[in-house]
Amino acid sequence: MSNKIEHVTIASVGNSVDFGDLLNTVADGLAFGSSVRGVYAGGYTQAPVINTIQYITLSTTGNAQEFGDLSTTIYSASSGGNTTRGIRMGGQVGPTGVNTTEYVTIASTGNAQDFGDLVNPMRSGCQANVSSPIRSITAGGYQSSNEDMIQYITNSTTGNAIDFGNLTEIKFQFSGASNGHGGL
């Protein structure tokens, strides 16, 4: 658990450098961003789970600032979106996975708003998530057992997730990456 924010300059090699601090010492939150802002939300601290959304301005170093709140205290969620919207999908509240999704408009501040529901609840973090300007896709996770379902939402609208297909194996706690056209 940490409150440290570090950054690297992608155009050159080298170690990370201090950027600033998060508002809380926290772990297992979710992150999304645009070319202007980086946003971090939820997670757990030494005692409680938090619902805080905080942001940084990427072009300058400094500490995170208050953005607003998620609708629930949550951790181990999947995140996605595009340059306009950041979206929280699923997550964990106590021992239970949730099927809710919510979004924020990255360029403004304020509390998260309801987006819709997932097909299946997901928890236990690090579900693979990939996003394009059009869709956010989340895969895997854990509910009563490991999951193999792939689900997607359309970023620019609100509504429930749709079944996309299945992973080749059941898993949770893995990563995803996208170039905006395909996901790995």
Query: Domains of the chain by range and CATH?
Result: 2-166 (2.120.10.80)
Contacts of 77 (CB under 8 A, 6+ apart): 29, 30, 42, 88, 89, 90, 91, 92, 125
The pLDDT value given to residue 145: 63
The pLDDT value given to residue 117: 95
Running along the chain, 184 residues long, what does each successive block of 10 average in pLDDT?
92 96 92 93 86 96 98 89 92 85 96 94 68 86 73 94 89 63 48
- Give the Cα separation of 111 and 51 in Å (integer): 10
Of the candidates 145, 98, 138, 130, the residue with the CA atom closest to the CA atom of residue 117? 98
The pLDDT value given to residue 143: 66
Q: Enter the pTM of the model.
A: 0.89
**In the structure encoding, which two tokens stand for residue 168, read together?**
């080749």
**In the structure encoding, which two tokens stand for residue 109, read together?**
């501040």
The pLDDT value given to residue 176: 63
- Give the Cα separation of 95 and 12 in Å (integer): 43
CA distances from 114 to 38, 118, 127 (A): 21, 12, 20
Q: How many CB atoms lie within 10 A of CB 156?
A: 11
The pLDDT value given to residue 55: 98
Residue type, 43: G
